[in-house]
Amino acid sequence: MGFLSERSRFAINPLEEDDAIAEALERKGKEIIKLNRGDPAVYFPTPQYIKEAYIEAIRESKTHYTETRGAKELVDAVMGRYRRLYGLDLNEDDVVVTAGVSEALYMLNSALIDRNDRAIVFKPYYTQYIPYIGLAGGREYLLDYKENEGWGIDIDELDRHVRRLKHKARVKYVLLTNPNNPTGTVLSRKTLEGIVDLANEHKLLLISDEIYDEIVYNGARFTSIAQVAKGVPYVILNGASKNFDATGFRIGFAVVPGRDALSKELKAKLADFASVRVSANAPAQYALAEGLNNVVEHNRAIRYMVGEIEDRVNFAVKLLNENTSLSTVRPRGAYYIFPKIDLKGLHFKSDKEFVDSLLKSRYVQITRGSGFGTPGHIRIVSLPPKETLGEAITKLNEFCRRKR
């Protein structure tokens, strides 16, 4: 590999590989419908009151470094949120503000993973979990979400694998994504309780990425790991990107509420990581603090956005269900749909071939399931307005009819 480090090979995003094809088509004047990026702020402008707070922070010259672990205003606002939503009493030391959940993942993996350690991750997974594990020298241990059970978790299977794995390597954490990207699943309270019991028995650390915890619909009830944790050490990840519709702010946070020895050691080390990188973006932190504190404005904004998302997702699922080459589990959270493709019936060798062929012939860009660890599927981002979704899915359905 020449001059670069060996581990730098993990810094790769397989979901961007089709961007070059799309760009080449655009240069030829083709208009591409893009259902491949999960960025809400492209379709729903960041709420005005949050943008005003950002501008106000700059006007007040709050453009200097903040406290390394996060501006006090934001840390207090995060504590307020968890008290309000989940009855969780946090100390200031339990919160570390990061440049998005992405930086929190970097810090956590760097803090926890040694060479050959394992991290249990369920697939399909949010793609970016994997590079951070590899960069830290560890390896992901992949288990399946169960598609025929609404992409749920089989606790007995998890138990069997943890028992087997314990003799071979150290399991540093079990990662949950709830609600899920790319399946849109909201885990049941019962499942979470089962995982907590198992974590208690095997002394496992749980990391729960709850970045979509307010984007829940179709009658689903969200349970945070905080509501069932019963003394198990855990980390919650969340931030500005999804609930506050501000992906470009690059602000997230890790919450480590436990009073046990592992939690104390971990939160202190995350604070060290925060001090090494000096500070997160200052105005964006003050803006998110206002986003969290102004409950009236936030509730108005999130209710509107989630209502629209529910409508768009259900519209898309209805159209997808007309396609006999796809089978779709109806999402109940986030804004992704993850149908299974009948590759054989359509005479495709792989999901990549399917996705590339759709892009090149119908100018619709979606993402291959294998990029999330689950081949034979596609991920559709259901954020655009219904006219756009309708046009794209009609093209997708027509494409499949022709290929049969």
Ligand X SMILES: Cc1ncc(COP(=O)(O)O)c(C=O)c1O
d(CA 241, CA 258): 25
- In the bound state with ligand X, the residue whose beta carbon lies nearer, of 36 and 328, is 36
291 binds ligand X (CB under 6 A): no
State which of residues 134, 252, 258, 283 lies at the interface with ligand X (CB under 6 A).
252
133/8 Cα distance (integer angstroms): 12
Residue 184 near ligand X by CB under 6 A: no
CA 158-162-168 angle, 5° bins: 145
Q: Does 173 bind ligand X (CB under 6 A)?
A: no
In sequence order, the 6+-apart residues with CB closer than 8 A to the CB of 28 are none
378 binds ligand X (CB under 6 A): no
CB of 177 to ligand X, least distance (A): 5
Q: Which region holds residue 73: left if phi is over 0, alpha if psi is between -120 and 50, else beta?
A: alpha
Running DSSP on this structure, what letter comes out for residue 146?
Answer: B
CA-based Rg of the chain, rounded to a whole angstrom?
A: 21
Contact (CB, 8 A) for 113 and 172: yes
**What is the DSSP-derived secondary structure letter of residue 342?**
-
Of 237, 235, 289, the closest CA to residue 267 belongs to: 235
Tell me if 185 contacts ligand X by CB under 6 A.
no
- Please, which residue, 140 or 209, has the CB nearer to ligand X? 209
For the bound state, the minimum distance from the C-beta of residue 379 to ligand X, rounded and expressed in Å, comes to 11
What are the backbone dihedrals phi and psi of residue 11, each rounded to the nearest 5 degrees, phi first? -80, 80
- Residue pair 238/210 in contact (Cβ under 8 Å)? The answer is yes
Question: What is the C-alpha separation between 8 and 6, in angstroms, rounded?
Answer: 6
Contact predicate 404/344, CB 8 Å: no
Residue 181 or residue 263: which is nearer to ligand X going by CB? 181
The minimum distance between CB 58 and ligand X, in angstroms, equals 21
DSSP letter at 364 equals E
Mapped onto helix, strand or coil, the DSSP state of residue 96 is strand
Stretch that binds ligand X, among 40-48, 100-108, 344-352, 395-403 (CB under 6 A): 100-108
Is residue 254 close enough to count as binding ligand X by CB under 6 A? no
Q: Look at residues 256, 205, 262, 386 and name the one whose alpha carbon lies nearest to residue 312.
A: 386
Residue 181 in the binding site for ligand X (CB under 6 A)? yes
> With binding defined as CB under 6 A, does residue 373 bind ligand X?
no
Exactly one of 178, 223, 241, 323 binds ligand X (CB under 6 A); that residue is: 241
Figure out which of the listed residues 134, 239, 291, 373 binds ligand X, where binding follows CB under 6 A: 239
Q: Which of residues 209 and 245 has its CB atom nearest to ligand X in the complex?
A: 209
Q: Within 199-228, which residues bind ligand X (CB under 6 A)?
A: 209, 211
Nearer residue to ligand X within complex by CB, 209 or 351 = 209
Give the binding range for ligand X (CB under 6 A) out of 71-79, 96-104, 226-234, 313-321.
96-104
| Beta-carbon contacts of residue 177 (< 8 Å; ≥ 6 apart) | 122, 125, 126, 208, 209
Number of chain residues interacting with ligand X (CB under 6 A): 13
Q: Which two tokens stand for residue 236?
A: 């919650």
Give the residue, chosen from 46, 177, 243, 279, that forms a contact with ligand X under the rule CB under 6 A. 177
- Residue 280 binds ligand X, judged by CB under 6 A: no
Asked if 283 interacts with ligand X (CB under 6 A), we say no
Taking the least distance from each CB to ligand X, the nearer of 113 and 381 is 381
Cα of first residue to Cα of last residue in the chain, in angstroms, is 43
| One of 32, 38, 40, 310 touching ligand X (CB under 6 A) | 38
Residue whose C-beta lies closest to ligand X: 100
Under rule CB under 6 A, residue 331 binds ligand X: no
Residues forming contacts to ligand X in the complex (CB under 6 A) are: 38, 100-102, 126, 177, 181, 209, 211, 239, 241, 247, 252
